[in-house]
């Protein structure tokens, strides 16, 4: 009986260590991918344009290709963004860009969504802590776009959200489930305040 108990304890410890190392490795790889995106898209007019850098990234990177990076300093969030397509459910791998979005370099609304909760893919688990006037930044093709949160509210979890539609300004909208209020989703809206080369 004692031998079975020892084996179970050792098995549990081994499984815990494996899971811990695996999650640390994934975190390190994600941070490296984010850093690489920012470095590879940094604007350096003497060498090459961001478009050329992006083409090289597609050819050499066989992992998930981030199209941009989201940063929310108030909740210590820095995550890669990927497009959602009918063949790739990006929300299970990164923060997802809605198909109706306009990227930050265009007038309109950059719409993002991600899971909340406690899983490894709950990238927006702290989104409920973001407050009005907090800063949201997006790194995209050598430009850092900074937004100020101007509105935050809950909607019913129906799979649909009304978002700002405009051709005269730049907005960002973040959507996730509200873990503090079941059956609801949090919507954060930011308006552009600044953009500059990084």
d(Cα 140, Cα 71) in Å, to the nearest integer?
11
d(Cα 196, Cα 176) in Å, to the nearest integer?
28
- Given pLDDT bands bounded at 50, 70 and 90, which one contains residue 76? very high
- % of the chain beyond a pLDDT of 90: 47
| Helix, strand, coil tally for the chain in percent (to 5) | 30, 35, 35
Q: What is the pLDDT of residue 86?
A: 56
- CA nearest to 169, candidates 113, 110, 96: 110
d(Cα 141, Cα 50) in Å, to the nearest integer?
5
Q: Give residue-wise pLDDT tens across range 93-129.
A: 789 999 889 999 999 999 999 999 888 889 999 999 9
Q: Give residue-wise pLDDT tens across range 141-174.
A: 999 999 999 999 999 988 788 888 888 999 999 9
For all residues of the chain together, what is the average pLDDT?
82
- CA nearest to 176, candidates 106, 72, 28: 72
| Its pTM surpasses 0.85 | no
Q: Is the pLDDT of residue 84 over 50?
A: yes
With beta carbons less than 8 A apart as the criterion, state whether 68 and 139 touch.
yes
């Amino acid at each position: 009986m004692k031998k079975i108990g020892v084996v179970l304890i050792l098995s549990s410890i081994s499984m815990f260590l494996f899971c811990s190392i695996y999650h640390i490795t994934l975190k390190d790889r994600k941070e490296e991918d984010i850093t690489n995106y920012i470095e590879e898209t940094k604007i350096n007019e003497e060498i090459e344009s961001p478009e050329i850098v992006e083409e090289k990234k597609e050819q050499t990177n066989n992992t998930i290709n981030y199209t941009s990076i989201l940063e929310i300093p108030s909740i210590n969030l820095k995550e890669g963004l990927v497009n959602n397509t009918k063949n790739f459910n990006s929300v299970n791998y990164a923060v997802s860009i809605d198909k109706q979005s306009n990227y930050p370099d265009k007038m309109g609304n950059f719409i993002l969504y991600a899971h909340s909760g406690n899983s490894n893919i709950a990238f927006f688990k702290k989104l409920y802590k973001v407050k009005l006037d907090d800063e949201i930044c997006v790194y995209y093709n050598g430009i850092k776009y900074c937004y100020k949160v101007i509105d935050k509210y809950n909607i019913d979890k129906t799979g649909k959200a009304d978002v700002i539609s405009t051709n005269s300004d730049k907005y960002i909208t973040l959507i996730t489930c509200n873990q503090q209020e079941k059956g609801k989703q949090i919507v954060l809206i930011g308006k552009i305040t600044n953009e500059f080369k990084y």
